[in-house]
């Protein structure tokens, strides 16, 4: 059983996998949606991405300096806690802030994939209309 940051990181990776699958389906023409419906779904993903902007802002407030005291144990505790929030050595893969950014971007990518699926449908309709006029 995973908990804490490990679980959040796994959730972010799973979401990224879903996003990659969605993008592949759109790019291969396996997902073509009505523009109105695609925009409705994309809006849901955009709204969720906006939620993550707020989560990120809230998480930034968790970073504190000098609140654990000046002793060795306090400084070590502060360093460890802030590392969990920021990520070790500014890593873009671990830490609460990088994971939240990754999830926000993934949700925005999914919204764009749905919009692209609608664009594909519109392009197909336009091409069919041009072909009918030629006949």
Distance between CA atoms of residues 56 and 69, nearest Å: 26
Whether residue 135 lies inside any domain: the answer is: no
Contacts of 2 (CB under 8 A, 6+ apart): 10
Distance in angstroms (rounded) separating the CA atoms of residues 81 and 90: 13
Structural domain containing residue 57: 41-119
Q: Count CB-CB contacts under 10 A for residue 117.
A: 25
What is the predicted pLDDT for the residue at 51?
96
| Residue 126 resides in a domain | no
Residue 113 lies in a domain: yes
65 SS3 class: coil
| Domain presence at residue 54 | yes
Within-domain flag for 31: no
* Tally of domains within the chain: 1
Whether 94 is in a domain gets the answer yes
User: Other C-beta atoms within 10 Å of 113: how many?
Assistant: 23
What is the residue whose two structure tokens read 């654990």?
Answer: 68
Q: Residue 67 domain-assigned?
A: yes
Most distant CA pair in the chain: distance in Å?
Answer: 84
pLDDT of residue 94: 78
Burial of 6 per CB tally in 10 Å (0-12, 13-18, 19+): exposed
92 is a domain residue: yes
Q: Report the C-alpha gap between 66 and 10 in whole angstroms.
A: 32
- Per-10-residue mean pLDDT of the chain, 135 residues long, equals 74 94 92 90 97 94 81 89 82 82 96 90 73 72
Predicted pLDDT at 67: 80
Q: What is the pTM of this model?
A: 0.80
Between CA 22 and CA 42 the distance in angstroms is 12
């Amino acid at each position: 059983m995973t908990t804490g940051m490990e679980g959040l990181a796994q959730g972010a990776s799973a979401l990224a996998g879903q996003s990659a699958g969605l993008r592949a389906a759109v790019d291969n023409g396996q997902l073509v949606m009505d523009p109105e419906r695609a925009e409705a779904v994309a809006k849901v993903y955009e709204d969720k991405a906006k939620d993550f902007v707020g989560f990120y802002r809230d998480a930034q407030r968790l970073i504190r300096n000098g609140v654990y005291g000046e002793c060795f144990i306090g400084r070590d505790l502060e360093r460890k806690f802030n590392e969990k929030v920021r990520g070790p050595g500014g890593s873009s893969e671990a830490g609460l802030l990088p994971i939240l950014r990754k999830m926000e971007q993934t949700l925005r990518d999914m919204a764009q994939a749905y919009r692209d699926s609608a664009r594909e449908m519109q392009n197909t309709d336009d091409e069919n209309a041009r072909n009918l006029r030629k006949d």
